Every structure is written in C-alpha cells, then in structure tokens.
Amino acid sequence: MAKLKTVNFQERLSYIHRTTGYSLDTIKKVLQASYLLDMNSIAEGKRVLESTYYTLYPEYRKERKVYNPVYDKEIEIKGHCVLKVKPHKKMQEALKIANKNIKDK
C-alpha cells in the first residue's frame, strides 16, 4: 500500500474556513474544545458518537503473553486500553471510495 498522506490541524482549519467562512480563531477554539471533550469522555470510559460518521471508544485488552522473536522468548504484555473506531454509514462510504482508488492504482 502506498504511504498515506496526513491531514494536519492547520489543513483542517483552512478547509473549514474555506467552506464555512468562519474565522480561523473561532474554528480553532471550537475544534480544540471538541477534541478536549472527546479526550475527557474516552478517559472516563465513555463512547464518543459522531452521528453518522463514527464512534470512538476505549476497549480493555487483557494481560497476555506473546512470543518476541528479537529476544527469542515469551514476554508479558500488561492489560491496557486501546482506542477503537467503529465507522458508520458516511465513513463506510469513504472507505469504499478509498478501496476503489487503491484497486485502480
């Protein structure tokens, strides 16, 4: 697979500014508050539902042992939370387009 390009925070600000006409300062404050709400919700073990786009949620992974070929022995991975993303209708449509574009290359 080709290396993915990244959309950074500044590009997100510029895009929203172009499409809405809102000031960059206003957009920045709203996005930062939204991200902070998402982070706090995840930290509290809550799901973050973004309408028809996606759901973010923490999922606990139990402690387990895995083989590490570098050290040629089993190592223990402690239990921890990982961030999961469940795509909804609009993101699934975007994924279908991405799959088509990858096949066409």
Residue 81 belongs to some domain of the structure: yes
pTM score of the predicted model? 0.77
CATH number, domain with residue 71: 4.10.520.10
pLDDT digits over 67-80, tens only?
Answer: 999 999 999 999 99
How many structural domains does the chain have? 1
Residue 3 belongs to some domain of the structure: no
pLDDT digits over 72-102, tens only?
Answer: 999 999 999 999 999 999 999 999 999 988 8
41-77: b (≥16 Cβ within 10 Å) or e? bbeeeeebeeeeebebbbeeeeeeeeeeeeeeeeeee
Instruction: List Cβ neighbours of 20 (8 Å cut-off, separation of 6 or more).
Output: 27
- pLDDT, residue 2, reads 61
Quick one: which H or E segment has residue 95?
helix 89-104
Q: What are the structure tokens assigned to 30, written together?
A: 């709203």
